[in-house]
């Protein structure tokens, strides 16, 4: 069965610093990959996704992620953190590319940004 | 375009009671997913409804059930509530069935079981 591991339940950075949130998945077949963000008391919002094609994916709010098949990773980065980036981030995979497959989520990483 | 809506926003129940949560998908979306976000457990898939039928369910007991109406809105019912059912319940809708399509999430219903 598919699984998603997010290294670090909590990441703290200073405003303007690089943001790096790690995500590894387990699958013998490359899945579809997603990053979602959840602000307090809100639902999840899609940041970016990888399906096929270019392995470097650009998303909203200056975030990007790179799919590395050899490392089974899909790490999320942002060159310069803003205070408004403080939120919980979830990496997710869609299994087996079958219709209606539910997302399998990692346990999330809380990003704190200090001034 | 209105987003996914859920009601109620908060709910407090006692053990053994029953609860119904509601979800209205984005117009034109026919598939609805339900997820449970419990503290420390992350998001867990509960149920998937498409075109009025239950198509798939996660690893949850039968006391978690639901349905989808002809207008594609959905209900999640939880019977015989247990303390560990306390969680944020999220509904998501999707256009079509493809698993690479974006799931749009509602704000959730926070259920507290005392």
Q: pLDDT tens across A8-52, in order?
A: 999 999 999 999 999 999 876 777 899 999 998 788 999 999 988
Tokens linked to B104: 């749009």
At B84 the pLDDT is 95
Interface contact flag, B4 A101, Cβ < 8 Å? no
Closest by CA to B92, choosing from B53, B59, B41, B45, is B45
Q: Is the dihedral of CA B31, A90, A57, A59 positive or negative?
A: positive
Least confident of A18-27, A66-75, A89-98: A89-98
83-102 in A: which are within 8 Å (CB) of B?
90, 92, 94-102
A81 to A11, A18, A87, A88, B114: CA distances (angstroms): 12, 6, 12, 14, 40
Set of chain A residues whose Cβ sits within 8 Å of the Cβ of B98: 99
A55 within 8 A of A48, measured Cβ to Cβ:
no
Q: Please list the alpha-helical segments (H only) found in chain B.
A: none
Interface contact flag, A94 B107, Cβ < 8 Å? no
At B10 the pLDDT is 96
Interface contact flag, A98 B99, Cβ < 8 Å? yes
Interface contact flag, A44 B58, Cβ < 8 Å? no
- Residue A95 distance to chain B (closest CA, Å): 8
Tokens linked to B38: 């419990």
At A67 the pLDDT is 93
Q: Which residues are paired to B56 by β-bridges?
A: B48
At A100 the pLDDT is 62
- Which residues in chain B land under pLDDT 50? none
Q: Can you tell me whether residue A109 is helix, strand or coil? A: strand
From CA B8, how far away is CA B22, in angstroms rounded?
Answer: 7
Query: Residue B44 contacts by C-beta under 8 Å, 6 or more apart in sequence?
Result: A105, B35, B36, B37, B38, B58, B59, B60
Closest by CA to B105, choosing from B52, B26, B8, B19, is B26
**Phi/psi of residue B83, each to 5°?**
-55, -40
Set of chain A residues whose Cβ sits within 8 Å of the Cβ of B52: none
At B41 the pLDDT is 82
B57 within 8 A of B103, measured Cβ to Cβ:
no
The count of C-alpha atoms lying within 13 angstroms of the C-alpha of A46, restricted to the half-sphere facing its C-beta, is 18
Interface contact flag, B33 A102, Cβ < 8 Å? yes
């Amino acid at each position: 069965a598919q699984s998603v591991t997010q290294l670090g339940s909590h990441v703290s950075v200073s405003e303007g610093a690089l943001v790096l949130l790690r995500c590894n998945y387990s699958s013998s077949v490359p899945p579809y990959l997603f990053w979602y963000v959840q602000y307090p008391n809100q639902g999840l919002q899609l940041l970016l996704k990888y399906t096929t094609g270019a392995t470097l994916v650009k998303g909203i709010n200056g975030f990007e992620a790179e799919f590395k098949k050899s490392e089974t990773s899909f790490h999320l980065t942002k060159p310069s953190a803003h205070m408004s980036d403080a939120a919980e981030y979830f990496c997710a995979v869609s299994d087996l590319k079958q219709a209606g497959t539910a997302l399998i989520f990692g346990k999330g990483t809380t990003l704190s940004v200090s001034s | 375009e209105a987003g996914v809506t859920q009601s109620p926003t908060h709910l407090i129940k006692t053990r053994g009671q029953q609860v119904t949560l509601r979800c209205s998908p984005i117009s034109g979306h026919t598939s609805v997913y339900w997820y449970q976000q419990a503290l420390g457990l992350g998001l867990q898939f509960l149920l998937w409804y498409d075109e009025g039928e239950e198509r798939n369910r996660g690893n949850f007991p039968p006391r978690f059930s639901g349905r989808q109406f002809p207008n594609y809105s959905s209900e999640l019912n939880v019977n015989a509530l247990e303390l560990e059912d306390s969680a944020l319940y999220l509904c998501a809708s999707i256009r079509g069935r493809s698993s690479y399509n974006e799931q749009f999430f509602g704000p959730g219903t926070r259920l507290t079981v005392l």
